[in-house]
Structure 1
């Protein structure tokens, strides 16, 4: 039996994102997501569901694995602004309730030709700390950026070679099994060139993807750099799909705010059909 799904597909820094418009029982989200994001369907790196919210916000975004996603926030904000008829160079504020955080997420959207420039106020991590661990026979110096329901690990590297990528994948799965978080991110960072290679693992979907661009990973990198340097950080972080800007404000001895900026293109909209 085939089920019909209304979807919109976005490209926020080539982090291909599908948002589902039709209403479905929450217990079917994982199945729908795994089918629609597969290579033989619409194909994407992540899936979210647009829900109505009881709060005074524009919408509720529920990611399929219950995780938080900055790029999906940008995508939904761009879609809502487009539906509201946002015109070239106009600015619109969109307020969202989002899975993976109890904070409301404020998005500013500006239309530029065929894309939407978005700025998102991101969650502030509960803790940033540095740890040295023995892993896979080597000493691994890692930065742990912990949030309410997800965790990012920043690893400073000289190259994005296959050996370190395989080690990152194994580490992500291991942490997914042991920590119980809804999302594990391993962020390989080359400080000299300000490049980021983000690996995202969502245990509930068994989804392990080297993303083309990661908004929440960029925010975590900004948090780490602000924590490390004890000052405000403004950085343009290059990723395989393009650049995402992060502004992390450091006030006294803590991170006060984090914002990311990137561009979103709406690339497809229509109906998908999946087996149920």
Structure 2
């Protein structure tokens, strides 16, 4: 038996994102997302659900399949709402979103540019930034821990994105996912000399481990870290495999201020998908190539 699902597919910095328009019980989110994300289906890196907002001032509520927060998905939903307003080139709109993973309303600015939308999103501020050195897999690993309400990002400065450090990052993400209880674990490998970022995102609720082509929330965390490290406002265009995302992180005598990211979003597909209503049977430990990244179901 098949269930019909209405979806829109977006391209925010090649972090392919599917948003679901039809209403579904929350307990079905993870099953629907697992099928939508798979190579033999719509194929994406992440899935969110558009639901009515609780607060009157919000234009919509975005609930990610794993209950996590996602900056690129915020940009995608803002672009979709703007597209429904039939904006002309260079037209501009502002809106607020409710988003899973944070109590803060997310402010979005959207401007239409030919067939894409330029989006600016005000991001949640981290609750804490701290430096720790741990001994992991026989080496001393210098970590920057960026903590939020329900997720955590780890910044690791590296010289190269080699296989050894990527494998170590994958193992660390799995370990933290099992021990911390957060809805999202991000390991952000950062090359300071070239301002390049390789973001690894693990969502325990979906058992998904993905090297993303572009990560909005990871870019915001990196900006927060750089502002905290230097003690000044940071404006940086962070290069990632799918393109660049700009971050502006304010910093003054009171500490870290507002953070916003800017990127472009394309709407690449819209239509109906069909999902088997029976639960998806994934073999534990089975690894899959996942776009330009890595997807794995975890023991």
TM-score by length of 1: 0.99
Counterpart position of 1:173: 174
Q: Counterpart in 2 of 1:183?
A: 184
Stretch of structure 1 that moved more, 84-93 or 122-131? 84-93
TM-superposed deviation, 1:251: 1.9
**Partner in structure 2 of residue 104 of structure 1:** 105
Aligned to 2:148: 147
Secondary structure in 1 aligned to 2:226?
Answer: helix
Q: Deviations over 1:203-244 (max 9, x none)?
A: 000010000000000000000000000000000000000000
**Do the aligned residues in 2 keep the contact of 1:230 with 1:253 (CA within 8 Å)?**
no
Aligned match of 1:158: 159
1:188-214 deviation digits (Å, cap 9, x = unpaired): 000000000000000000010000000
1:196 corresponds to? 197
SS in 1 for 2:75: helix
Give the deviation of 1:54 after TM superposition: 2.1
Equivalent residue, structure 1, for 2:41: 41
Match of 1:137 in 2: 138
Spell out, residue by residue over 1:124-145, the C-alpha distance to the aligned partner (whole angstroms, 9 max, x if none). 0000000000000000000000
Query: Residue 9 of structure 1 aligns with which residue?
Result: 9
Question: How many angstroms does 1:121 deviate by?
Answer: 0.1
2:232 matches 1:223 = no
Quick one: distance in 1 between partners of 2:46 and 2:169?
Answer: 20
Paired residue total: 276
Structure 2 residue ranges without an equivalent (≥5) = 278-299
Instruction: Kindly indicate whether residue 23 of structure 2 is the aligned counterpart of residue 32 of structure 1.
Output: no
Equivalent position SS for 2:228: helix
Aligned to 1:235: 236
Structure 1 unaligned spans of 5+ = none
Q: Which runs of 4+ in 1 moved over 2 A?
A: none
Deviation, 1:253, is 4.1
Residues of 1 paired with 2:103 and 2:227: CA distance? 23
Q: 1:82: Cα distance to partner?
A: 0.3
**1:55-66 equivalences in 2 (<5 Å):** 55-56=55-56, 57-66=58-67
CA RMSD of aligned residues (A): 0.5
Cα distance per residue 1:68-105 (max 9 Å; x no partner): 00000000000000001111101100210000000000
SS of match in other structure, 1:40:
coil
Name 2:81's counterpart in structure 1: 80
Does residue 1:19 correspond to 2:19, yes or no?
A: yes
| Worse-matched range after superposition: 130-139 or 245-254 | 245-254
Taking the aligned partners of 1:117 and 1:211, their CA distance within structure 2 comes to 20
1:246 aligns with 2:261: no
